[in-house]
Amino acid sequence: MPAFGLLHRLSVYYGMQDVIVIGGGLAGLISALELARAGHAVTLVERKTYPFHKVCGEYVSNEVRPYVESLGVDLQALGATDIRRFQVSAPSGRLLESTLDLGGFGISRYVLDYELYQLGLAAGVQFRLGQQVEGVTFSTDKFGVALSDGTTLTSRLVLGTFGKRSKLDKSLNRAFVRQPAPTHRGSANQSPYIGVKYHVRADLPDDVIALHNFSDGYCGMSAIEGGKYCVCYLTTRANLRRYGNIPDMERAILHRNPHLKALFSTAELLYDKPEVITEISFAPKRAVEGHILMAGDSAGLITPLCGNGMAMAIHGAKFASELSNAFLQNQLTRSELENQYQRGWSARFARRLWVGRNVQKLFGRPWLTEAGAWAFGAFKPALRTVMRQTHGEVIGV
């Protein structure tokens, strides 16, 4: 038993947790798992109940594959696909293809998050499912975390892994929710993005991630487990408002790209209705707020165009749990923890987020995307450079 074991046991006895993790997506599940395996008392609060679907393209960069497998996730047994090629089409349908230097794998969040949840249970993580965190306070060096069932949990540390946008951002009065959400056009007053996802069966290659552009948006497609494909697109709320509903918007806008028209007219849709999320914003955020360490999308959301938000959430969770472990073992003071985390987080991810925001400006605008596609076609190395700039090295286990 580690030297901090007795104190830890006493504090758990008196109801105080070492760590409360708010939100059980990839960042939350992995942080909780790592910290529980390191011997800490961890409670994870998730407002939904596993397994559940999530709006996400479900293509995971190989930069995190060895690490994910080292956690005990058997990707092959779960049916993850191996993705090696990349296709991008302009709104007119003009198609370019390139191999991926690093590549990735395809697996649904329904399966991957559920697997991590099972590993968390086995490691002793306490799950409070179907509960929303409504507020967090910090005083006399401890946190109070208020849940929707009226209970308040206490802990030495809180990790904020509650995703791209949560009511909690408002209750924490975070700066990015006080600003009007910017869009890819750069204007603060235009409407933010929406994300739509389907699982389909279709006659498509299973080693390709395709990114099909349309006016004011793009749609990613790649194979996941069980012979299925994930089809997920991002567009503006203004597009949806203009056409009133998703099927009409898809017919009027997405189908102008012949690849999307072919997909939507031939694929078998496996949900009654698509998963939809609104109010997506790529505004910069802070990695530490109110003494809470943020990881994953809560710390910064990279544009889906870059296809590695999940890798960043996983990588961020590894980093957050390593430093949290050092703090909980009294090797770091709280202010050392917060400073090292903020600096380390920026060093790892700030540049990727910046490149992602700028590359996003190329997409969705018909003339720019056509020009971008032409330029990338002429200079395929440019496409590879952009990929390298928005992805990291394979992370160590």
Ligand X SMILES: Cc1cc2nc3c(=O)[nH]c(=O)nc-3n(C[C@H](O)[C@H](O)[C@H](O)COP(=O)(O)OP(=O)(O)OC[C@H]3O[C@@H](n4cnc5c(N)ncnc54)[C@H](O)[C@@H]3O)c2cc1C
**Which residues inside 251-270 make contact with ligand X, applying CB under 6 A?**
none
What lies within 8 Å, CB to CB, of 65 at 6+ separation is 75, 104, 105, 394
Q: Which of 46/115 has CB closer to ligand X?
A: 46
Q: Which of 58/225 has CB closer to ligand X?
A: 58
Answer yes or no whether residue 133 interacts with ligand X by CB under 6 A: yes
Catalogue the E-assigned strands of the chain. Answer: 16-22, 42-46, 59-61, 81-89, 95-106, 126-129, 133-139, 142-147, 152-160, 193-201, 208-214, 217-223, 229-236, 268-269, 275-280, 288-289, 292-294
Answer yes or no whether residue 234 interacts with ligand X by CB under 6 A: yes
Span from 50-58, 74-82, 89-97, 237-245 in contact with ligand X (CB under 6 A) = 50-58
Q: From the list 42, 55, 119, 157, which residue makes contact with ligand X (rule: CB under 6 A)? A: 55
Query: In 3D, which of 196, 344, 366, 215 has the Cα closest to residue 280?
Result: 196
CB of residue 302 vs ligand X: minimum separation in angstroms?
7
Any long-range contacts for 129-132 (C-beta under 8 Å, 24+ apart)?
129/24, 129/46, 129/48, 129/49, 129/50, 130/46, 130/47, 130/48, 130/49, 131/45, 131/46, 131/47, 132/45, 132/47, 132/167
Answer yes or no whether residue 311 interacts with ligand X by CB under 6 A: yes
Q: Which of 136/332 has CB closer to ligand X?
A: 136
CB of residue 221 vs ligand X: minimum separation in angstroms?
10
Answer yes or no whether residue 45 interacts with ligand X by CB under 6 A: yes
Pairing of strands 152-160, 16-22: parallel
Q: Which of 60/323 has CB closer to ligand X?
A: 60
Answer yes or no whether residue 308 interacts with ligand X by CB under 6 A: yes
Cα–Cα dist 110/233, whole Å: 18
Interface map 6-25 toward ligand X (x if CB under 6 A): ----------------xxxx
Answer yes or no whether residue 100 interacts with ligand X by CB under 6 A: no
Q: Can you read off the two tokens belonging to residue 103? A: 């590549």
Contact by Cβ (8 Å): 45, 20: yes
Answer yes or no whether residue 325 interacts with ligand X by CB under 6 A: no
Answer yes or no whether residue 274 interacts with ligand X by CB under 6 A: no
Size of the site for ligand X (CB under 6 A): 41
Cα–Cα dist 332/325, whole Å: 9
Cα–Cα dist 397/394, whole Å: 9
Contact by Cβ (8 Å): 306, 383: no
Produce one character per residue of 159-172: b if its CB has 16 or more CB atoms within 10 Å, e if not. bbbbbbbbebbeeb
Collapsing DSSP to helix, strand or coil, 348 comes out as helix
396 DSSP 8-state letter:
P
Interface map 58-97 toward ligand X (x if CB under 6 A): xxx-------------------------------------
Residue 93: CB atoms within 10 Å: 15
Answer yes or no whether residue 120 interacts with ligand X by CB under 6 A: no
Interface map 287-306 toward ligand X (x if CB under 6 A): ---------xxx-----x--
CB of residue 60 vs ligand X: minimum separation in angstroms?
6
CB of residue 154 vs ligand X: minimum separation in angstroms?
17
Answer yes or no whether residue 372 interacts with ligand X by CB under 6 A: no
**Which residues inside 209-228 make contact with ligand X, applying CB under 6 A?**
220
Answer yes or no whether residue 356 interacts with ligand X by CB under 6 A: no
Answer yes or no whether residue 31 interacts with ligand X by CB under 6 A: no
Collapsing DSSP to helix, strand or coil, 170 comes out as helix
CB of residue 203 vs ligand X: minimum separation in angstroms?
21
Answer yes or no whether residue 236 interacts with ligand X by CB under 6 A: no
**Which residues inside 140-179 make contact with ligand X, applying CB under 6 A?**
161-163, 166-168
Q: From the list 11, 89, 108, 132, which residue makes contact with ligand X (rule: CB under 6 A)? A: 132
- For tokens 């191999």, the residue is 99
CA dist 47 → 23, 148, 158, 198 (Å): 7, 9, 16, 22
Residue 76: CB atoms within 10 Å: 9
Answer yes or no whether residue 309 interacts with ligand X by CB under 6 A: yes
Interface residues toward ligand X, by CB under 6 A? 22-28, 45-48, 54-60, 132-133, 161-163, 166-168, 195, 220, 232, 234, 280, 296-298, 304, 307-311, 313
